[in-house]
Amino acid sequence: MTAEVDHLGPPVLASYSLGADLTVHHAAAHPGAVAGLVLIDGANPVPEPFITEADLPVFRTMWEEQEAERGTMLTGREILELNVEIDGVRARILDRYRQIDVPIRMIMSTSMAGEGEWAARLNRNWRAGVERLIRELPRVSVSWLADIDRRLLAEIRERRRHRRRIAQLACGDDFALPPQVTEYLGHLRSLGVDERIVRLERDGWIPLAARSPERVPEWLARKREQMADSRLVDVFLTLGQALEWSADDPRLAGLADDLAAYLARAADERGEDYIDDVGLEPAPAGVMDSMVFDALPPARRLVELLRQRGWTGWTKLERDGSLLPRNRAGSGGQGPVARPGSG
């Protein structure tokens, strides 16, 4: 790396945690090799060992749990031994700082060890190490991240909650859906429908089932009836292939022709109520449309092509009276026509 940047002049090195310790040792051992240091939560000449004999059982348990949960590259015992070794290195690092004559900027956390009574001693020791360095070398500048720490800790906790929720959802469709909907999604998979479309169907069913659980059996019966039509199944299978197409792919026009033909035939045979939406207001329907457009990039172009063929919308799909005469013949009942993400 040094050879690569030699022609640019000495660099400013920024490093984090143990990398900060390595950076200080490098700068001390190679005068003139760097123009400055930015050290983030590391290379701290703490006055007391970070890990005391009394702390060993706590740290050992913590890192063994991390090893079991995350599958770390090092064992819990190896992580503990490494941190004890780092304590020994940091006990001597103040001498290394004295050998450095370039600007040093430290960005340090006031709650590096977290929160709670046990962490308080570690955080005090951490701050004392920085204050010790400043007394010895006033040219070192320090920024403390107290407020940012609190926001980060809150964000970390929130992200952990999200990860747990996502992990629960990933365990199976039936976590957030009625069993009969899970069965329907399995039926789509058995037909060979692309898994991305199945996931979008699942995401569309979640708000529908929460909003009107009593109508789920009625909607599912209609969905199964529609998916018994081989022509609609072909549309779904082609849409799965279209996920890899660009928005200007000419094959989308053929897909729009097939879907429009199915819709027209279903409306003519069963009445336009057969194509109606699931009773959503425009705002939530728009949200579901956006979800479809984000997950299925060709869908937005497909909607434009359907509009040219007399059909508007996606979640709220209906015949455009300005382009085609409305035919109210028949009354096939209420229920959503099957299309990805409409629930």
Q: Following CA atoms 285, 286, 291, 294 in sequence, which dihedral angle do they give, to the nearest 10 degrees?
A: 150
Residue that is written with structure tokens 């939560």 in the block: 41
CA distance 342 to 123: 52
Residue that is written with structure tokens 């190896």 in the block: 78
Residue that is written with structure tokens 């400013």 in the block: 12
CA distance 232 to 40: 58
**pLDDT on residue 68:** 64
Could you tell me the sign of the dihedral formed by the alpha carbons of 124, 129, 130, 133, in that order?
positive
E-strand ranges in 42-119 read 104-108
Distances (CA, A) of 40 to 36, 58, 109, 278: 13, 25, 8, 54
Q: Are 267 and 183 in contact (CB under 8 A)?
A: no
| Mean pLDDT over the full length of the chain | 78
pLDDT tens, residue by residue, 178-236: 888 888 888 999 999 988 888 888 888 887 787 788 888 888 888 888 888 888 888 88
Please report, rounded to a whole number, the percentage of residues in the chain having pLDDT higher than 70: 71
Query: How much is the pTM?
Result: 0.43
Least confident range from 42-46, 75-79, 166-170, 244-248: namely 166-170
Residue that is written with structure tokens 């449309």 in the block: 289
CA-nearest of 30, 14, 35 to 106 is 14
75-83 long-range contacts, Cβ below 8 Å, gap at least 24?
Answer: 80/51, 80/56, 83/50, 83/51, 83/59
Indicate if the pLDDT at residue 245 is higher than 70: yes
| Amino acid letter, residue 202 | R
| Amino acid letter, residue 170 | A
**pLDDT on residue 266:** 81
C-alpha 160: how far from chain center = 11
Indicate if the pLDDT at residue 149 is higher than 60: no
Q: Are 17 and 41 in contact (CB under 8 A)?
A: yes
pLDDT tens, residue by residue, 92-106: 899 999 999 999 999
3-state secondary structure of 228: coil
Q: Find the helix or strand (DSSP H, E) in which 162 lies.
A: helix 146-170
Q: Rounded to the nearest 5°, which phi and psi values hold at 108?
A: -125, 145
* Encoded tokens for 249: 């792919």
Q: Which domains does the chain carry? A: 2-49+91-168 (3.40.50.1820), 173-319 (no CATH)
